[in-house]
Structure 1
Amino acid sequence: MKAPTPRSLIVSFFGAYGRELGGWIAVADLVTLLGRLGVDAPAVRSAVSRQKQRGFLQARQADGVAGYSLSPEAEEILADGDRRIYLRQDVQLSDGWVLAVFSVPETERHRRHLLRSRLSRLGFGTTAPGVWIAPSHLAEEARHTLERLELAAYVDLFHADYLAYADLRDSAARWWDLGAVQAGYAEFSAQFLATDTDTDSADDADAFATYLRALDAWRRMPYRDPGLPPELLPQDWQGTQAADIFFGLHDRLRGRGLSYVKSVVSR
């Protein structure tokens, strides 16, 4: 897998630990923490600046100390991410589907691009121009995202059942690039399987670094994977093993990582 970028690690850090610190951290402490992952101070400061420009972070001083806190929009994004990243769905074919049907005027082409991009990132597949589909468990997340981005006026959402005529497993293989999802899971497993069996002897600082790397690699996977019912997945589906590895690391390392984070910020 690609090496994590400082900007991505900052998002992962705030998602995993930042909110438990009240949503604010001193720049110097963030430099120390990400230094455990081999990110140097200039790279951290540059990435923080970019996240401020994007509206993810806000500069704020606390007791005269320079630091950054999450923006209200970032709080919403992370809350949405929690439900997606840390929840293992038990999906049944009988749960049905959610359809997103949209029409955007040619004069607002930028909104059409944004809409397609966000539906794809949510896990929707394309059945026809302007018609996107996802398992029904993504309906509320789609509704919330479209409203937050002020795109709801262009979209109609439907709950649907598949009646006929194609083989649904073949159709799902057309609507989503399951091969790419499968490859991503296999790559994650290859990178972290050995880590999964060799973490008990790590100190809290190493536990923090290992968990943040794993989270940063994992958190995109549930968005690439629409969460299809088992009947529609390839027989050698790699997602189950990858999820077992991530949640095993989460259970064992996240708490120890938090202990290390608190030891740094309390100095």
Structure 2
Amino acid sequence: MTDELFETESSEADVAGAPRPQTLLLTFFGGYVLGRGVHVATASVLDVLGRVGVSEHATRSTLSRMARRGLLHRVRRGRQVYVGLTPRSREILHEGESRVWRIGAVNTHWDGTWTLLGFSLPESWQRQRHVLRSRLLWAGFGSLQGGLWIAPSTLEVAPLIEGLEAAGHVKVFQARALPPTDVDDLVHDAWDLDTLAARYAWFLERWDAAEPPNGLPDSLARQLLLQTEWLQLIRQDPRLPQQHLPQDWPAERAQKAFRALYADLEPAAKAIAAEMLDTIPDTEADADQP
């Protein structure tokens, strides 16, 4: 994943804030372009984003920026411009798809292995430190003390430090906690569980209600915002081991609510999309497959 996306995820720390246009666009492309072998008309994208309150100017600017960064491919047919995915954006979207649908919100099969990562960077490397920390947070690491970070699983660290000068200053280990270490205390020290629980509570209050958020015109808009806010939330969740979480941990209840509401919205959302989206075949459709 690109540094721009790592920083976007980390900067959206407050899930209650309105999702950025790029986050909404990635959700849209993941749901209605990925794996379908199509490019979609810019006008259709403007219409979809407008339904969740994003201005035409903001959508156009974001599409242009994503194209410059190699996340979108643009083609012209007459007076209309169509946008499609690139190998780079497909990889990002497949990862997001896996996170939403294949990986549970809680780690129920933890084998007790921690990934430990330590680094010490020169004071002048502020930018490198910021990017590295953003990547570690995105990957589910928590800061234990000083330059020591931990994650509750076996993680492949190489992609996280790829392209960074800081890579030469990073040491990585796998380990298990031994007495007298109290793992419950360790988890509370490295992660802000109260804030994370509050985010899930906010999501449930917002979506698991008789009347979901007002101001959304149809099922397509509601589904788009629902999935975007859910992905934004779980990407801030390190998936901590279930046995070291509070008994009333709300993640699984929020996941159940998300999946149920998504399924309820799906038929109508698909029908609206089929009617309104102007698409053309993607000549590189085979590359859409994982």
1:82 to 97, 100, 103: 97
Which deviates further from its counterpart, 119-128 or 229-238? 229-238
State the distance in 1 between where 2:50 and 2:136 align: 35
- Secondary structure at the residue paired with 1:224? coil
Of 231, 242, 245, which residue of structure 1 is paired with 2:254? 242
Partner of 2:5: none
In structure 2, what residue type is equivalent to 1:263? Answer: E
Other-structure match for 2:140: 123
User: Which runs of no fewer than 5 residues in structure 1 stay unpaired?
Assistant: 199-204
What letter matches 1:99 in structure 2? L
Larger helix fraction of residues:
1
> Residues 1-267 of structure 1 correspond to what in structure 2 (within 5 A)?
1-22=16-37, 24-62=39-77, 65-86=80-101, 87-88=103-104, 90-105=107-122, 108-136=125-153, 139-140=155-156, 142-147=157-162, 152-194=167-209, 206-254=218-266, 256-266=268-278
The residue identity in structure 2 corresponding to 1:224 is Q
User: Which amino acid in structure 2 is aligned with residue 188 of structure 1?
Assistant: F
Q: Deviations over 1:31-66 (max 9, x none)?
A: 122233233433322332343345433433256631
Normalised by the length of structure 1, the TM-score is 0.83
User: What does the per-residue CA deviation read over 1:90-135, in whole Å, with 9 as the maximum and x for residues that have no partner?
Assistant: 4334342112233445564422221111101221001222221111
SS of equivalent to 1:219:
helix
The unaligned stretches of length 5 or more in structure 2 are: 1-15, 280-290
Give SS of 2:254's match. Answer: helix
Deviations 1:217-236 (A, max 9, x none): 11122221111112211232
**How many residues get paired?**
258
Separation (CA, whole Å) in 2 of partners of 1:23 and 1:100: 41
Name the CA distance, whole Å, in 2 between partners of 1:93 and 1:21: 35
1:250 positional shift: 2.8
What SS class does the counterpart of residue 97 from structure 1 fall into? strand
TM-score calculated relative to the size of structure 2: 0.77
Identical columns (%): 34
- Once the two structures are overlaid, the 10-residue window that deviates more, 157-166 or 171-180, is 157-166
Shift of 1:153: 4.7
Write the distance in 2 (CA, Å) between the matches of 1:108 and 1:33. Answer: 41
Contact 2:108-2:241 within 8 A present in 1 as well: yes
Cα 1:108–1:22 shift into 2, 3 Å:
farther
Give the partner amino acid of 1:246.
F
Residue 165 of structure 1: how far off its partner (Å): 2.0
Distance 1:30 1:122 in 2: 30
SS at 1:19 equivalent: coil
Distance 2:164 2:257 in 1: 33
Q: Measured at CA, do residues 75 and 248 of structure 1 come closer, stay the same or move farther in structure 2, by a change above 3 Å?
A: same
Q: For the structure 1 residues 164 and 12, does the alpha-carbon distance in structure 2 shift closer, same or farther, using more than 3 Å as the test?
A: same
Q: CA deviation at 1:187?
A: 0.4
**Judging changes above 3 Å, is the alpha-carbon distance between structure 1 residues 90 and 227 closer, same or farther for their aligned structure 2 residues?**
closer
Q: Which has the higher contact order (CA 8 A, sep 6+)?
A: 2
Letter in 2 for 1:219: L
2:208 match: secondary structure: helix
Rounded to whole Å, the distance in 1 between the matches of 2:193 and 2:177 is 19
Q: Is the 8 A contact 1:14 1:23 kept in 2?
A: no
